[in-house]
C-alpha cells in the first residue's frame, strides 16, 4: 500500500503549498482553473522569472499560457489526472516543471506546479504530487463557494445595467464600489452570437477560461443569454475602438483553434463614459447583429456599430418611404425586365454598388467576365434610365435596394 502523507487536515492552501514544498524540496504554486494564483510556497534562489512574475501579478503571464496551449501542456492537463512533465522555455524564463490537475469528478478545479531543480523528480515524487492534488480538492471547493456567489452578484448587476435599472451615473458608480469594482473610464458592450441555440455549460467554462486568462482589455462584467455571450469591456480614457476589435478577433480565433467552435458572430456597441449608456451600447450591439442577419453580404465584415454608416438609418428611411407610398421608378423597370426575360440585372446592380463601382471586384463576386458586367451595366443604364456617374442617383438606388431587402425580410417574417 502506498503511503499517503496527506492524511491530515489542512485549513489553508498556504499550509498545503508549504508542506508539498518541504516534501519535494522545491517551490510550489497552486492555481485555479483560470491560472489565477491561489497560493505559493516560499523559495530560495531556486526559482525563475515566470514564477516571480506569477507571484507579483497573481496570475500566470498570458504569453506563457498561450505557449503551454501550443505545446499541448494545458490540453494534456485538462484530460488527465497524472502529473505531466513540462520542458523548459529558456527564452521566456520558464524552467522545467511538473504539473498536475486538481479534479472534482470530471471537472478541473485548478493546478499544482512544482519547479524541478537540478535533481529530476523520481516516480515517488510524482506520486506525492498526485496525492497533493487530491488533498487540495476540498480546500479549493471551500475557496470557490464565495467566489461563485460574487460572480452571481456581478451578473445580476450587469443585467440591471443592460435593462436600465438605474437612474443616475452616481448611483451606478456607488454600486461598482459596493461590489469592490473599479468603474471603467470608458466602455462598450460586446455580443458574441454563437450558432448553437443555447450555450452549454461546458462551452460556458471554456469561454470563461478565455476571458479570465486574457489580460487586455479588461472584461469588467459578463453574462450569457441563450446563444449570446455579452461583455462589458473597459478601456482607459485614451483607449480606442481598435483595441476592442482586436480582442474580438482574438476571441473568435481562439474559440476555433482551441475548442473547434466556429461561426461566432461579433458585434460591438458604441463607446461611452456615462454608465447610464450601458443599455444604449447593448441595444446598438443587438441592432448590428440584426442587420448582419438581414444584410449578410454587405454587413458581415462590419463588427462595430460606429462603422455601420448609412445602415444605421435604414429603419427610419423605410418608414418614410412606406408613409409616402414611394417606389423607385428605375428599380421597378429593372425588376420588370428581369421577370420578363429571366435576367439578373437587379442583382448585378446591387453587387456592383456594394463593391464601390469596382468592375473587377464585382465581376469576381458575380463570377462573370468584366466584359459581361460592362454589357449588363450598359443595359441597366438604358432600361432604368439611370446615370451611374451621378452621385445622387447612385446613392438613391443603393439605398432603395437596401430598403427593398429590408421590406422583403419583414414580409417573410410575417409569413413565418
Reduced 3-state DSSP string for 10-45: CCCHHHHHHHHHHHHCCCEEEEECCCEEEEECCCCC
Confidence band of 368 (pLDDT split at 50, 70, 90): very high
Q: What is the pLDDT of residues 106-117, one digit of tens each?
A: 899 999 999 987
d(CA 304, CA 288): 7
242 pLDDT higher than 60: yes
Report how far Cα 97 is from the mean position of its chain's Cα atoms: 31
Q: What pLDDT shows up at residue 196? A: 84
Tell me the percentage of the chain whose pLDDT exceeds 70.
97
Bridge partners, residue 104, by sequence: 107
* CA distances for 187 relative to 150, 166, 219, 231, 238, angstroms: 21, 17, 10, 10, 11
pTM: 0.81
Q: Residue 89 carries which DSSP code?
A: B
Residue 416: what pLDDT? 54
Residue 311 burial by CB count (10 A; 0-12/13-18/19+): exposed, middle or buried? buried
37 bridge partner residues: 31
User: What is the average per-residue pLDDT within 22-36?
Assistant: 93
pLDDT digits (tens, 9 = 90+) for 325-353: 888 899 999 999 999 999 999 999 999 99
What's the CA gap between 150 and 340, in Å, rounded?
65
Q: Which domains does the chain have, with CATH numbers?
A: 13-142 (3.30.450.40), 163-307 (3.30.70), 315-415 (no CATH)
CB 110 within 8 A of CB 33: yes
Once rounded to an integer, what is the mean pLDDT over residues 81-97? 92
What's the pLDDT at 415?
53
State mean pLDDT over 399-403: 90
Scored b (16 or more CB within 10 A) or e, 353-372 reads bbbeeeeeebbebbebeeee
What pLDDT does 16 receive?
93
| pLDDT confidence band for 45 (50 / 70 / 90) | low
pLDDT digits (tens, 9 = 90+) for 302-316: 999 999 888 888 888
Least confident of 98-102, 194-198, 266-270, 279-283: 194-198
pLDDT at 47: 80
Note the pLDDT of residue 1. 54
Average pLDDT in the chain = 91
Task: Please give the pLDDT value at position 43.
Answer: 66
H or E element in which residue 352 lies: helix 345-354
Cis peptide before 217 (omega within 30 of 0): yes
On the CB side of 6, how many CA atoms lie within 13 Å of its CA? Answer: 25
Query: Predicted confidence band at 5 (pLDDT cuts at 50, 70, 90)?
Result: confident
Mean pLDDT of 36-47: 82
Q: What is the mean pLDDT of residues 141-148?
A: 82
Task: Label residue 158 by pLDDT band (50, 70, 90).
Answer: very high
Report the DSSP beta bridge partners of residue 89: 94
9-23, 179-193, 255-269: least confident range: 9-23
Amino acid at each position: 500500500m502506498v503511503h499517503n502523507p496527506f492524511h491530515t487536515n489542512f485549513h489553508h492552501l498556504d499550509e498545503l503549498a508549504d508542506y508539498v514544498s518541504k516534501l519535494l524540496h522545491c517551490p510550489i504554486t497552486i492555481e485555479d482553473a483560470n491560472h489565477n494564483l491561489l497560493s505559493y510556497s516560499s523559495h530560495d534562489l531556486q526559482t525563475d522569472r515566470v514564477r516571480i512574475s506569477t507571484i507579483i501579478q497573481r496570475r500566470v503571464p498570458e504569453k506563457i499560457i498561450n505557449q503551454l496551449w501550443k505545446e499541448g501542456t494545458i490540453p494534456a492537463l485538462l484530460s488527465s489526472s497524472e502529473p505531466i512533465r513540462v520542458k523548459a522555455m529558456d527564452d521566456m524564463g520558464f524552467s522545467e516543471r511538473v504539473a498536475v490537475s486538481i479534479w472534482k469528478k470530471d471537472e478541473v478545479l485548478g493546478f499544482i506546479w512544482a519547479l524541478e531543480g537540478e535533481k529530476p523528480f523520481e516516480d515517488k515524487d510524482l506520486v506525492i504530487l498526485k496525492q497533493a492534488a487530491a488533498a487540495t480538492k476540498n480546500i479549493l471547493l471551500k475557496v470557490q463557494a464565495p467566489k461563485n456567489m460574487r460572480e452571481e452578484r456581478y451578473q445580476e448587476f450587469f443585467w440591471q445595467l443592460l435593462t436600465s435599472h438605474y437612474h443616475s451615473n452616481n448611483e451606478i458608480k456607488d454600486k461598482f464600489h459596493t461590489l469592490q469594482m473599479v468603474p471603467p473610464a470608458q466602455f462598450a458592450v460586446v455580443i458574441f452570437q454563437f450558432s448553437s441555440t443555447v450555450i452549454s455549460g461546458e462551452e460556458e467554462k471554456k469561454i470563461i477560461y478565455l476571458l479570465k486568462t486574457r489580460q487586455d482589455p479588461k472584461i469588467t462584467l459578463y453574462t450569457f443569454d441563450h446563444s449570446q455571450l455579452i461583455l462589458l469591456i473597459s478601456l482607459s480614457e485614451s483607449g480606442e475602438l481598435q483595441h476592442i476589435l482586436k480582442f474580438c478577433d482574438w476571441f473568435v480565433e481562439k474559440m476555433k483553434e482551441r475548442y473547434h467552435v466556429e461561426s461566432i458572430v461579433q458585434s460591438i456597441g458604441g463607446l461611452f463614459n456615462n454608465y447610464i449608456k450601458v443599455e444604449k451600447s447593448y441595444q446598438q450591439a443587438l441592432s448590428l447583429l440584426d442587420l448582419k442577419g438581414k444584410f449578410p453580404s454587405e454587413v458581415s465584415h462590419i463588427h462595430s456599430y460606429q462603422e455601420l454608416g448609412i445602415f444605421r438609418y435604414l429603419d427610419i428611411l423605410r418608414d418614410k418611404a412606406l408613409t409616402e407610398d414611394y417606389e423607385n421608378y428605375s428599380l421597378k423597370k429593372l425588376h420588370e425586365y428581369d421577370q420578363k426575360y429571366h435576367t439578373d440585372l437587379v442583382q448585378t446592380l446591387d453587387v456592383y454598388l456594394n463593391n464601390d463601382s469596382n468592375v473587377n471586384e464585382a465581376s469576381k463576386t458575380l463570377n462573370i467576365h468584366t466584359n459581361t458586367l460592362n454589357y449588363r451595366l450598359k443595359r441597366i443604364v438604358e432600361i432604368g434610365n439611370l446615370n451611374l456617374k451621378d452621385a445622387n442617383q447612385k446613392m438613391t438606388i443603393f439605398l432603395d435596394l437596401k430598403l427593398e431587402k429590408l421590406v422583403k425580410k419583414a414580409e417573410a417574417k410575417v409569413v413565418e
